[in-house]
Structure 1
Amino acid sequence: MAKMWAGRFSKTTDKTVDDFNSSLPFDNRLYREDITGSTAHAKMLGKQGIIPQDEADRIVKELGVILKEIEEGKIAFSDDAEDIHMFVEQILTERIGDAGKRLHTSRSRNDQVALDMRLYVKKEIRNIHALILDMMQELNKSAAEHTETVMPGYTHLQRAQPVTFGHYMMAYANMLKRDVKRLENTYELMDEMPLGSGALAGTTYPIDRDYVREQLGFAAVTENSLDGVSDRDYCIELCSDLSILMMHLSRLSEEIILWCSWEFKFIELDDAFSTGSSIMPQKKNPDVCELIRGKTGRVYGALMTCLTFLKGLPLAYNKDMQEDKEAVFDAIDTVKMCLKVLKPMFETMTVLPENMKRAASRGFINATDCADYLTKKGVPFRDAYHITGQLVGECVKKEKGLGDLTLEEFKAHSEIFGEDVYHAIDLSTCVKERKSFGGPAPEEVERQIGVIGRFIEAHRAFES
Structure 2
Amino acid sequence: MTGEDDPSREGDSGVVRRDRFSGGPARGFMSSLAADERIFAADLAVDRAHVVMLAEQGIVADGVAGEILAALADVKSAGHGALPEGEDVHEAIETGVVDRVGPDGGKMHTARSRNDEVATCIRYRLREDLLNSIGATLALREALTEAAAEHVDTVMPGYTHLQPAQPTTVAHFLLSYESAFARDTARLVDAYDRVNRSPLGGAAFAGTPFDIDRERTADLLGFDGVVSNSTDASAGRDFLAESTAALATHATTLSGLAEDLVIFANKGFVDLADEYSSTSSIMPQKVNPDTLELVRAVAGDAIGGLTGLLTTLKGLPRAYNRDLQRATPHAWETVDAVSEATAVVAGAVASAEWPEETLEAAAGDGFSTATGVADALAMAGVPFRTAHEVLAAAAERADGETPDLATLDEVAANVLGDSLFAYVSRERVEAALDPVESVASRDSLGGPAPAAVATQLDDAEASLAADRAAYDDRTNALDDAAETLRTEVEGYV
Q: TM-score, normalised by structure 2?
A: 0.88
Amino acid corresponding to residue 289 of structure 1 in structure 2: L
1:114 aligns with 2:122: no
- Secondary structure in structure 1 of the residue aligned to 2:109: coil
1:197 aligns with 2:202: yes
Against the structure 1 CA distance between its residues 407 and 311, is the aligned structure 2 distance closer, same or farther, given a 3 Å change threshold? Answer: closer
Does the 8 Å CA contact 1:28/1:77 hold for their aligned counterparts? no
Residue 426 of structure 1: aligned partner: 434
Kindly state the Cα deviation for residue 32 of structure 1 after the two structures are TM-superposed: 1.2
Against the structure 1 CA distance between its residues 160 and 79, is the aligned structure 2 distance closer, same or farther, given a 3 Å change threshold? Answer: farther
Residue 447 of structure 1: aligned partner: 455
For structure 2, which runs of at least 5 residues remain unmatched after alignment?
Answer: 1-7, 476-493
Residue 336 of structure 1: aligned partner: 339
Amino acid corresponding to residue 93 of structure 1 in structure 2: V
Task: Give, in whole Å, the separation in 1 of the partners of 2:405 and 2:51.
Answer: 81
1:387 aligns with 2:390: yes
Kindly state the Cα deviation for residue 78 of structure 1 after the two structures are TM-superposed: 4.6
Task: Give, in whole Å, the separation in 2 of the partners of 1:166 and 1:400.
Answer: 26
- Secondary structure in structure 2 of the residue aligned to 1:363: helix
Residue 484 of structure 2: aligned partner: none
- Percent pairwise identity: 35
Cα deviation, 1:46-82, whole Å, max 9, x if unaligned, reads 1111111111122223323432442xxxx62557221
Task: Give, in whole Å, the separation in 1 of the partners of 2:385 and 2:322.
Answer: 65
Does the 8 Å CA contact 1:299/1:331 hold for their aligned counterparts? yes
Kindly state the Cα deviation for residue 185 of structure 1 after the two structures are TM-superposed: 1.2
Kindly state the Cα deviation for residue 406 of structure 1 after the two structures are TM-superposed: 6.8
Does the 8 Å CA contact 1:136/1:176 hold for their aligned counterparts? yes
Residue 402 of structure 1: aligned partner: 403
Kindly state the Cα deviation for residue 404 of structure 1 after the two structures are TM-superposed: 6.3
Against the structure 1 CA distance between its residues 77 and 295, is the aligned structure 2 distance closer, same or farther, given a 3 Å change threshold? Answer: farther
Moved more, 52-61 or 435-444: 52-61
Residue 259 of structure 1: aligned partner: 264
Residue 308 of structure 1: aligned partner: 311
Kindly state the Cα deviation for residue 382 of structure 1 after the two structures are TM-superposed: 1.4
Task: Give, in whole Å, the separation in 1 of the partners of 2:71 and 2:443.
Answer: 65
Amino acid corresponding to residue 250 of structure 1 in structure 2: S
Cα deviation, 1:275-304, whole Å, max 9, x if unaligned, reads 122222222111101111112111111111
1:322 aligns with 2:330: no
Kindly state the Cα deviation for residue 374 of structure 1 after the two structures are TM-superposed: 1.1
Kindly state the Cα deviation for residue 349 of structure 1 after the two structures are TM-superposed: 1.8
- Secondary structure in structure 2 of the residue aligned to 1:275: coil
Against the structure 1 CA distance between its residues 14 and 403, is the aligned structure 2 distance closer, same or farther, given a 3 Å change threshold? Answer: farther
1:293 aligns with 2:304: no
Cα deviation, 1:241-261, whole Å, max 9, x if unaligned, reads 000000000000101111111
Q: TM-score, normalised by structure 1?
A: 0.93
Q: 1:358 aligns with which of 334, 358, 361?
A: 361
Kindly state the Cα deviation for residue 424 of structure 1 after the two structures are TM-superposed: 2.4
Kindly state the Cα deviation for residue 364 of structure 1 after the two structures are TM-superposed: 0.8
Cα deviation, 1:165-212, whole Å, max 9, x if unaligned, reads 100000100110001110111122233211111111101111111111
1:241 aligns with 2:246: yes
Amino acid corresponding to residue 330 of structure 1 in structure 2: E
Kindly state the Cα deviation for residue 440 of structure 1 after the two structures are TM-superposed: 0.6
Does the 8 Å CA contact 1:150/1:164 hold for their aligned counterparts? yes
Kindly state the Cα deviation for residue 344 of structure 1 after the two structures are TM-superposed: 1.6
Instruction: Report the count of equivalent residues.
Output: 455
- Secondary structure in structure 1 of the residue aligned to 2:426: coil
- Secondary structure in structure 1 of the residue aligned to 2:34: helix
For structure 1, which runs of at least 5 residues remain unmatched after alignment?
Answer: none
**Paired residues for 1:177-256 under 5 Å:** 177-256=182-261
Kindly state the Cα deviation for residue 427 of structure 1 after the two structures are TM-superposed: 1.0
Against the structure 1 CA distance between its residues 24 and 405, is the aligned structure 2 distance closer, same or farther, given a 3 Å change threshold? Answer: farther
Q: 2:374 aligns with which of 371, 374, 377?
A: 371
1:96 aligns with 2:101: yes
- Secondary structure in structure 2 of the residue aligned to 1:371: helix
Against the structure 1 CA distance between its residues 254 and 370, is the aligned structure 2 distance closer, same or farther, given a 3 Å change threshold? Answer: same
Q: 1:415 aligns with which of 412, 415, 419?
A: 419
Residue 72 of structure 2: aligned partner: 63
Kindly state the Cα deviation for residue 220 of structure 1 after the two structures are TM-superposed: 1.6
Does the 8 Å CA contact 1:432/1:441 hold for their aligned counterparts? yes
Kindly state the Cα deviation for residue 400 of structure 1 after the two structures are TM-superposed: 5.1
Does the 8 Å CA contact 2:115/2:204 hold for their aligned counterparts? yes
Against the structure 1 CA distance between its residues 24 and 291, is the aligned structure 2 distance closer, same or farther, given a 3 Å change threshold? Answer: same
Amino acid corresponding to residue 306 of structure 1 in structure 2: L
Cα deviation, 1:373-396, whole Å, max 9, x if unaligned, reads 111122111111111112112222
Against the structure 1 CA distance between its residues 55 and 380, is the aligned structure 2 distance closer, same or farther, given a 3 Å change threshold? Answer: same
Kindly state the Cα deviation for residue 402 of structure 1 after the two structures are TM-superposed: 3.3
Amino acid corresponding to residue 82 of structure 1 in structure 2: E
Against the structure 1 CA distance between its residues 143 and 12, is the aligned structure 2 distance closer, same or farther, given a 3 Å change threshold? Answer: same
Amino acid corresponding to residue 383 of structure 1 in structure 2: T
- The alignment yields a C-alpha RMSD, in angstroms, of 2.0
